[in-house]
Amino acid sequence: MSKIRNIVILTGAGVSAESGIDTFRGGGGLWEQHRVEDVATPEAFARDPDLVLRFYDMRREAIQAKAPNAAHLALARLDREWPDPLLIVTQNVDDLHERAGAKRVLHMHGEHLNAWCRACDVRSRWTGPLISRPACPRCGEKALRPDVVWFGEMPYYMDEIFAALREADLFVSIGTSGAVYPAAGFVRNARDLGAATLELNLEPSQGSLWFDEARHGPAGELVPAWVDEMLTARG
C-alpha cells in the first residue's frame, strides 16, 4: 500500500445513504411509484415535463436539508492530506462531497444545484424550483432543465476520468451497485490499466468479482477506516 500514489475513487448513492438521501435501487428508491428511469430520460421530459421538473425540484430541495456524513468527511480529509494525484469521480448529483470540503471532485452525472439552459447552453448555479419555468439568468429564455445526466445521455468528464484511470495505482469504488455504465465498467478499465482495485459497499455489488478486494458494511464506518489506513501507510 505504501507504493500507491495515484488514486481514483468512484462514489455512488451509497456514500450519501447515511445522510438520509435515498439510493436509487434500495427499498426506498422509488418516488411516488415512479421508477427512476421513468423520470430520468429525455423522452420522459418531452412527454411530461411537469412531472420530471417536479421530481427534480423535490430532490433539489431535499438535498439542501441534508448534511455530509462520516464517509464524505473522511474522503475530504484524504483529498486534503493526500500529497499525490487523487480524483473523486461521483455519480451523485448532491453536493455533499463539496460541503464536506473535498476539492478534487468530478460530477459525471451532473449536479442538482445547477440548471442547464437549452437555449444558450450555459449552466448556472440553481437552488430554487424549475417547475415555474424561470428565465435563464444568462439569456432570459425560459428553457432551463436540471443539469443532470439522464439515461441515454453522455456522462460528463469522460476524457478526464479515463486519463485519471490510466494513471491510477488504486481504484476504489464506494457505495455503488455497479448497475449503470460507463461507471460500472471503470473497475475493469482500471484493472486492465494496471491499478489495484478495492470495493467498499454495504453488500457485494454487481461487479464485486472484478475487485482485488471487497469490504462490506456501511460507508460511514468503512471509509474512515480505509482513509486512516491510507494516510498511515503514506506516512
The contact set with ligand OAD (CB under 6 A) reads 12-14, 17-18, 23-26, 29, 36, 40, 91, 109, 149, 175-177, 179-180, 201-203, 205, 218-219
Question: Cell triple for residue 185?
Answer: 465498467
For residues 14 and 80, what is the distance between their CA atoms, to the nearest angstrom? 22
For residues 196 and 7, what is the distance between their CA atoms, to the nearest angstrom? 10
Grouping H, G, I as helix, E, B as strand and the rest as coil, residue 187 is: helix
Q: Which is nearer to ligand OAD, 6 or 205 (CB)?
A: 205
Cα 174-178-183 angle, rounded to 5 deg: 80
Q: Which is nearer to ligand OAD, 6 or 39 (CB)?
A: 39
Q: How far is the CB of 5 from ligand OAD (least distance, A)?
A: 26
Number of Cβ within 10 Å of residue 92's Cβ equals 25
Q: Which residues contact 183 (CB under 8 A, 6 or more apart)?
A: 10, 12, 89, 91, 108, 155, 176
Q: Which is nearer to ligand OAD, 24 or 186 (CB)?
A: 24
Amino acid at 144: L
Residue nearest to ligand OAD (CB): 14
Q: How far is the CB of 72 from ligand OAD (least distance, A)?
A: 12
Number of Cβ within 10 Å of residue 3's Cβ equals 8
Q: Which is nearer to ligand OAD, 142 or 188 (CB)?
A: 188
User: Could you confirm whether 109 is annotated as catalytic?
Assistant: yes
Q: How far is the CB of 3 from ligand OAD (least distance, A)?
A: 27
| 110-117 vs 123-125, strand pairing mode | antiparallel
Q: How far is the CB of 7 from ligand OAD (least distance, A)?
A: 18
Q: Which residues contact 4 (CB under 8 A, 6 or more apart)?
A: 169, 170, 196, 230, 233, 234
Q: Are 166 and 193 in contact (CB under 8 A)?
A: yes
Q: How far is the CB of 228 from ligand OAD (least distance, A)?
A: 17
Whose cell is 457505495? That residue is 175
Q: Which is nearer to ligand OAD, 141 or 228 (CB)?
A: 228
Given 107, 109, 112, 216, the catalytic residue: 109
Active site residues: 109
